[in-house]
Homo-oligomer: A and B are copies of this chain.
């Protein structure tokens, strides 16, 4: 079918914000696939309904993920999007690129696909949007030659992602890029070959600001923090005051643990009461900084709502020193134990966070070999339904 008019979509060319329709227009002349995409999308806008459907599983040889197969349900009308698969390409840590590499990727996708991308997908991948089954393997190999690999999809480890961290942020409490890269490499097999009950996501944030939203959407969330005292440059404090900042109102009064004092001269922090929320540091980056004894908190179990309601991740390891190779090794071992337990007890399509709720945190901790700590909970149980274990009672009776 010939290029159709798209009056509804054309409305979206207007206005100051960048327009995805303009992006489609940019390539449609040379990409019939995009012409048909425009057509089908205009149909969707008119009819208020999508026109994609499930289809057989497609992918590249030896991988169980990385490609989302998609088919039009208007194949006759729009044959060029009969197949319209996406490829998820594992982004470089913290999404750093050079113009060189971007051009190479553009060229590959110009050749093998629709010329449309998402920079980036919600998980973090570079998403190459729309190609046919035939082109999957060639695209994959072309990318591989440039040093790129596919990301995850299906019941696998999903593409890990991390915040810009030490590369450009003064608050990074550990090297998010390195950890993200190392983990991605370490777990290539888990990333490409489904053997989990469901998906598993790692996200790495350098501090509690959590700029990759890891606590909301990763099965394992690694969030930088510190243990010792907040670093204070009192001269810089004075400068903020001189510049007109109302330190009492903007910082001290807002501190959630109310552990700060300001006497008009300097700031004092009762560091044992600090909950490491970052607020004071966020507001006064020149004067305050995280302490020097830095590491991370490991949290487990975040996910979207299907099926028992969404979960935020919860504390598993209150503090870990990620500069210490032994502790990183311990973390890998812990991850192995978690995956083993999940593999054995997780139901099909049950995320780790749901499994923990189902079997109970204390049973889970025992299985993975961690001691319970009060930092793992917001409060102890309020119901009296305690599953006392016989062994332990005996100890108590001695």
Is A47 located at the chain interface by the 8 A CB criterion?
no
A interface residues, Cβ below 8 angstroms from B: 305, 309-310, 382-385
With the chains together, A382 CA to B384 CA distance in Å? 27
With the chains together, A305 CA to B382 CA distance in Å? 9
With the chains together, A360 CA to B183 CA distance in Å? 44
Within the complex, which residue of B305, B310, B383 is in contact with A310, where a contact is CB–CB below 8 Å?
Answer: B383
With the chains together, A310 CA to B385 CA distance in Å? 11
Copies of this chain in the oligomer: 2
With the chains together, A383 CA to B384 CA distance in Å? 28
Within the complex, which residue of B309, B382, B385 is in contact with A383, where a contact is CB–CB below 8 Å?
Answer: B309
| Residues of B close to A310: CB separation below 8 A | 382-383
With the chains together, A309 CA to B382 CA distance in Å? 8
| Residues of B close to A384: CB separation below 8 A | 305
* Least distance between A239 CB and chain B CB atoms (Å): 30
Across the two chains, which residue of chain B brings its CB closest to A381?
B309
With the chains together, A384 CA to B309 CA distance in Å? 8
Across the two chains, which residue of chain B brings its CB closest to A383?
B309
With the chains together, A305 CA to B309 CA distance in Å? 24
* Least distance between A211 CB and chain B CB atoms (Å): 23
With the chains together, A383 CA to B305 CA distance in Å? 7
Please list 8 pairs of residues, one from A and one from B, whose beta carbons are closer than 8 Å in the complex, sorted by A's number.
A305-B383, A305-B384, A305-B385, A309-B382, A309-B383, A309-B385, A310-B382, A310-B383
| Residues of B close to A305: CB separation below 8 A | 383-385
With the chains together, A97 CA to B259 CA distance in Å? 52
With the chains together, A385 CA to B304 CA distance in Å? 12
